[in-house]
Structure formats: structure tokens, C-alpha cells
Structure 1
Amino acid sequence: MVKILELSKFSLNRFIVNNPSLPADYIRNAYYNGIGRHVCQLQRITFKFCKTSADSKGIRQFIETDLVDWSRANSGVVVYLKPRRHRSPVIVTEYLNGLRHWMGVRKFTPVELEWWLDFLRDRSGYELSQLMSPVNVMLPSVQGPWHPFLNRDTRLNVYQFPDAESGAYLYDKPTASQQLIQMSQQSNTSQ
């Protein structure tokens, strides 16, 4: 219950979509994402923390209790621990596309750290940005974007749905039931 209450403040903000402080950009794909399988884009994560500071208490608790389980669950991510004296705790993530993300985690609880680690693990590594367009192509089509009714007969515009004719599935081959009926009819006619 406590975990749910602590994570409720991290719900998605509806104002992030039209945030003027975010740069405008087109949607991008992580090109290193394998063929037929997902490749985690997070390559390396470094925890920098102070061994004595009260600001680093949450990250120290997370390291003592949950870090081993998290690193076992995410075996493709290299985890580094870097203690340093009298500095604020920081998480530095490095992604396959070469970008690095730096995040201050001063006075975070272990639950908040776990949430942010899952968020950082699932990111592509690109900076957050507003989308200029939901579709981006390098060579735009002269015909316009494809849609389901692109090369269909225009009579579909005046049909009253549901329609038995247009909703019927057209089989390429006869079904097993149709083949059995056909075989029985042939055997009856031959006798």
C-alpha cells in the first residue's frame, strides 16, 4: 500500500505533451533494437553516492536491499557503484546510442529509486521532446498515407453496416467441412 501511495505522485503529467520548455522534434527509433527481439537500450548505470551523508540514505538502502535483485533481473545492464565523499547522490545512465543521462537522486526513498530505475531502463536514451508530427518519413508519398479504404470500391461509402456481403470472409480454399460435404455428394452420385 505504501509503495502505491509513493508511486502515485509519479503518474504521467498531461501537460508534458505541450510543454514549451521541451524541444520540438520528430519521432525517432532506436536502430540498435535487434531483429525479432527487444534489446534493452540501457547499457550502463553508475550509482554515485556518499557513505555518510543523509541525502544518500535512500540510495544506500536501495544498494543494500534491492540492487542485487534488480541487477539479476536486468542482466544486460552493467552496474557500477562509485562512493564519493560529501557529494549529492547521482545516477548516470549510458545508452547504446551513445547518449548519457544524469539524474540527481537526493533524498529519494528506495521505492522511488526502483521506479526511476525501471523508467530509465525502458527509455530509448533519446532526450524527451514534443512530437512535431505523429508520422515522420524521409521520402513522403505522393499518394498520401495508406488507409484501409485506399484501393477499395467506392460503393462501400453507401453501405449500411453490418452488411452480410461485405462482412463475409472469402476463403481461398474450401474448408474441411465443405470438402467432406463435397466428398459425400460425389460418393452419393457415383452410387
Structure 2
Amino acid sequence: MPVQSVRRGISVARNGVGAFVLPCRKLTFRFCNWGASSVGIREFLHESLNKFSKENPGIEFEVIKKHGHPVIIGDYLNGKQKVICVRNLTASEVAVKANLLRDASGRKLARAKNPVSSINDGPRGIWSPFHVLEQYRHKV
């Protein structure tokens, strides 16, 4: 059976059925060719991008020379985009940020819905209705 390309309309719920598809669709490296804040990303592009792209064949890579601070932009299958500034970082730190964007899902960070619970008693002890002033107690 020949391998088919991933279509844009695949739902996230079907990911993992048959084959796993990374949520990251494209990584864009934008940097300045002469700026001092872009030294790390230029080293990363020169030394490590070829190896990084071979390790991740399902991701499209784009390199843009543009004035300003360097950034890495991740585009995801759900249509979202994440941007990380890599100003004044070394080549190894840029690689860590590129891996972070590659492994991200593209969704916004959200708080956990379950509250924190503990098996230990609180420092104040257990609450009792007799801790309320007598005038506010329920009278039977």
C-alpha cells in the first residue's frame, strides 16, 4: 500500500489511528543576517538544521532572512501558530526551542479542571458547626 500525504482536513481525534502524525506542520526560522542577536540561530542553521530536518521528515522547514530579532514560528494542523523569540541564545538553546515547538500540540495552555486534593488534614483541623457563633447556629 503506497504512503499517502496528510490532508489538511484530518481531525485531531483520528490522530494515532494507523500512524501517528505530528501536530507541527511547519517551522519557520526568521533571523537577521548581520545582527548580533541572531548569532545563535545562524550557527544552528549552519551546523544543525540539516540533521534536524532529516530527523523530522514530516515537517516543512522555511528559513527567512529579515531584519529584527530572530524568532522560530511553529504552524500546526489545527490552524494555530506559536512564536518563540530566540534572541541572544546559543545554537544548542535554539535547538531546544525548536524541539519544544516541534513537540507542542498548538493548543493554548489551560489550567487543570480538577482541583487539588489532599489525604492529610488541614492545619486548622476539621470544621464543625459548633465553630460558628451561637447566634448564627441553626436552632432545632
Instruction: Tell me the TM-score normalized by structure 2.
Output: 0.70
Return the letter of the residue paired with 1:62.
F
Q: C-alpha deviations, 1:43-87, integer Å up to 9, x for none?
A: 0011110000000000000000000100010010000000012x0
Return 5+ residue gaps in structure 2 as ranges.
1-10, 116-140
Distance 1:57 1:73 in 2: 23
Give the equivalent residue in structure 2 for 1:90: 71
Secondary structure of the 1:116 match is helix
The alignment status of 1:112 with 2:78, answered yes or no, reads no
Give the RMSD, CA atoms, in angstroms. 1.7
Of the three residues 82, 90, 110, the one matched with 1:129 is 110
Alpha-carbon shift at residue 91 of structure 1 (Å): 0.8
Counterpart in 1 of 2:50? 68
Question: Which 4+ runs in 1 deviate beyond 3 A?
Answer: none
1:175 corresponds in structure 2 to none
Q: Deviations over 1:100-158 (max 9, x none)?
A: 00111101111111111112111111011211139xxxxxxxxxxxxxxxxxxxxxxxx
- Whichever structure has more helix as a proportion of its residues is 1
- Give me the TM-score of the superposition, normalised by structure 1: 0.52
Report deviation, 1:30: 3.8
Which residue pairs with 2:41 in the alignment? 59
Report which stretch shifted further, 32-41 or 114-123: 32-41
Does the residue aligned with 1:45 lie in a helix, a strand or coil?
strand
d(CA) in 1 for partners of 2:44 and 2:74? 17
Change (3 A) 1:72 1:115: same
Percent identity for Structure 1 against Structure 2 = 34
Supply the distance in 2 between the matched residues of 1:124 and 1:30 (Cα, whole angstroms). 10
Quick check: 1:30–1:124 contact (8 Å CA) kept in 2?
A: no
Contact 1:32 1:39 in 2 (8 A): no
C-alpha distance in 1 between matches for 2:14 and 2:89: 32
Residue number in structure 2 paired with 1:157: none
